[in-house]
Amino acid sequence: MKRLKKIIKESSLSGEAYVFAQRISQARRDRKLVVLPYSMYSGSAGDLRGRAIGVALRGRGWRTVVVPPWLGLAQRQRIIRKERPDVILLQQSVHPLNRPWLYPGVPCVFDADDAYIINTPETVVPCCRQSAAVIAGSRNLANRFREHNSHVSVVWTGTYIKEARGLIPSAQRGRVITWALSDALSAGHESLFVREVLLRLAKRTKFSFRLYGVNAPEAVAEYLQPIRDAGVEVTTFPMLRYRPFVDSLHDVAIGLTPICQAHAFFQGKSFGKILGYIAADVAVVAANAIDHPLFFRHGENGMLADENVDQWVECCATLLDDPERRSKMVAQARQEFMARLTVTRCAELVDEVFSRVISKAR
């Protein structure tokens, strides 16, 4: 891998040159995989569930080539002909060339951790049906996919960032609450719910609030003004790259993860920004919905709350007023995070799926 990094650093690589550099960096191996991520933006599903999984599988004996999403169909097909992979991982259907029928003769595994099957079923359903297996990011998605494919496995999204830099011990942090999104204006009902929680909490105790994903400050100003008027100090951040985002959480006490159950698309969400929270030792208050209760145990490694404002206020107040209890929760969450929500663990589960697909194909 040192040779690969040197080549990439010293050269202006085209997409196929990048693929070639990956190939020459790996020893000859029996099992071969081609990964087609929809994106390689740091922290995206294409990065965490595509590129990072492919890299982690190299440590499990796979010869893995990650194909940059900007390559065209002819280039992709040429790479696949040269590699002759045992399996292809199609990460999301967002990319128009992530279609199993474009790569005949090689079993494809379709991976998704968002409910695009709700918004664009005409794209997702054929991908499910024509793939050898499907990997879903949550139970809800798995249940939807099983209508179209009998070989569906659930693999939660994991991360390769295990700890934020400059961490302040949880018990020593200020009374800071955050809500991290990719785009604050897209939250809809969830944004109104969070604002109501913060306004009621402000009547009870002092705290400051950080909002991520503010890419249009003027448009968000109206939403934030009532919170500021309630005496809450508000800081906003745009969408950050993955590592800077996690590092910026190093002094935050509480991270919020609400889920609007009235909208089917949100029911397809997995752990998303929760990974960043736990990597930065931020205590999590999460919706008691989707797969959250399968990881969090209320009062032990986080807080779970129904779609009830009073419950969320109580959870936040408890964590703010009892730093020692918060610190114990954070420690427990980190322990389970390292066991269940790392890319290494995800790669183990994906390896099992690929092995079954290859065995069946042979």
Q: Which of 208, 260, 261 is nearest to 231 (CA)?
A: 208
Q: Which of 108, 53, 60 is nearest to 85 (CA)?
A: 108
Mean pLDDT by 10 residues, the chain (362 residues): 42 59 62 95 93 96 95 96 97 95 97 86 95 95 95 96 96 97 82 96 98 90 96 95 96 94 69 92 95 96 96 98 97 97 96 95 78
The reported pLDDT for the residue numbered 114 is 84
Cβ contacts of 160 within 8 Å, gap of 6 or more: 48, 52, 56, 342, 343
Sheet containing strand 152-154, edge to edge, reads 62-66, 31-37, 87-91, 108-112, 133-136, 152-154
What is d(CA 238, CA 171) in angstroms, rounded to the nearest whole number? 27
51 DSSP assignment: I
SS3 helix, strand, coil % of the chain, rounded to 5?
50, 15, 35
CATH architecture of 170-340: 3-Layer(aba) Sandwich (3.40)
* Chain centroid offset of residue 145 CA: 19
Q: Exposed, middle or buried: residue 330 (CB in 10 Å: 0-12, 13-18, 19+)?
A: buried
48 DSSP assignment: I
Phi, psi of 313, deg, nearest 5: -60, -45
Domain layout of the chain by residue ranges: 2-158+342-361, 170-340
CATH number of 2-158+342-361: 3.40.50.2000
Angle between helical axes of 73-83 and 15-24 (0-180°, round to 10): 20
The reported pLDDT for the residue numbered 10 is 36
pTM: 0.89
What is d(CA 327, CA 324) in angstroms, rounded to the nearest whole number? 5
- Give the CA diameter of the chain: 66
Query: Residue 16: what residue type?
Result: E
165 DSSP assignment: T
Q: Which of 111, 123, 112 is nearest to 87 (CA)?
A: 111
The reported pLDDT for the residue numbered 188 is 79
One DSSP character per residue, 190-238 reads HHHHHHHHHHHHHTT---EEEE---S-HHHHHHHHHHHHHTT-EEEE--
Strand (E) positions, the chain? Answer: 31-37, 62-66, 87-91, 108-112, 133-136, 152-154, 176-179, 208-211, 233-236, 254-257, 283-287, 303-305
Terminal Cα distance for the chain, rounded = 31
Domains 2-158+342-361 and 170-340 alike in fold: yes
